[in-house]
Amino acid sequence: MTQPPSLILVEPDARWRGELVAMAREYAVLGGSRYDAALVDFDAYVRQLARHARGENVPAGLVPQTTYWAVVGDEIVGSIRLRHWLTPSLELEGGHIGYDVRPSRRGHGYATAMLALVLERAREMGLARVLLTADADNIASARVIEKNGGHLDGRSYVEETGHEVLRYWIDLG
């Protein structure tokens, strides 16, 4: 899998404040709340991401995860999170990796490139394979996973969220 040469993954850092805030505002306009904490206190948000990557102050029921921002030139085009291991609930929905592309930058292949790059990080972490899940109606996400070698393991209905979920494994060997 090749990725656009200009897309890189960076760790969250104050240098990217303006870009992350701009992306957060795009999500907020669409009703998304994923980045609300960054809008309230960017510095605290970045500190929290760093702590979670180190396994510190991880909320109950969650696991350590490393967040990367996908950058093209001087613009953040998305975010991808690599969870260090799975819990039973993450095995049903969530998996090892979650990603999102900035609303104004969707449809340009960035998610496929982001996933390819973070799979390298998962290998470096020592993972032999990773689980990714996608809502059954999210055809774009399923294609991203399949383009990166994902093999459909099955479908499940998650009662807690009311979602039908596709489960994919990617072997990293």
Look over the chain and give the mean of its residue pLDDT values, rounded to a whole number.
94
Percent pLDDT > 70 in the chain is 97
User: Which of 103, 104, 97, 118 lies closest to 7, judged by CA?
Assistant: 118
Does 70 reside within a domain?
A: yes
Does 76 reside within a domain?
A: yes
| pTM, entire model | 0.93
Quick one: which H or E segment has residue 76? Answer: strand 75-83
Over residues 44-55, the mean pLDDT reads 97
State the pLDDT at residue 7. Answer: 96
pLDDT of residue 95 exceeding 50, the answer is yes
State the pLDDT at residue 20. Answer: 97
Q: 113-136: buried (b, 16+ CB within 10 Å) or exposed (e) per residue?
A: bbbbbbbeebeeeebeebbbbbee
State the pLDDT at residue 4. Answer: 46
Over residues 164-173, the mean pLDDT reads 96
pLDDT of residue 94 exceeding 90, the answer is yes
Does 94 reside within a domain?
A: yes
State the pLDDT at residue 139. Answer: 95
Does 68 reside within a domain?
A: yes
What residues make up the domain containing 19?
Answer: 7-171
Does 1 reside within a domain?
A: no
Q: How many independent structural domains does the chain possess? A: 1
**Distance in angstroms (rounded) separating the CA atoms of residues 67 and 82:** 6
CATH code of the domain containing 12:
3.40.630.30
User: Which of 173, 81, 170 lies closest to 126, judged by CA?
Assistant: 173
Quick one: which H or E segment has residue 155? Answer: strand 151-158
Condensed to tens digits (0 to 9), the pLDDT of residues 18-31 reads 999 999 999 999 99
Band the pLDDT of 119: cuts 50, 70, 90.
very high
Strands 163-171 and 151-158: antiparallel
Does 98 reside within a domain?
A: yes
The answer to whether 115 and 150 have CB atoms below 8 angstroms apart is no
Does 2 reside within a domain?
A: no
Does 154 reside within a domain?
A: yes
State the pLDDT at residue 160. Answer: 82
Beta bridge mates, 66: 82
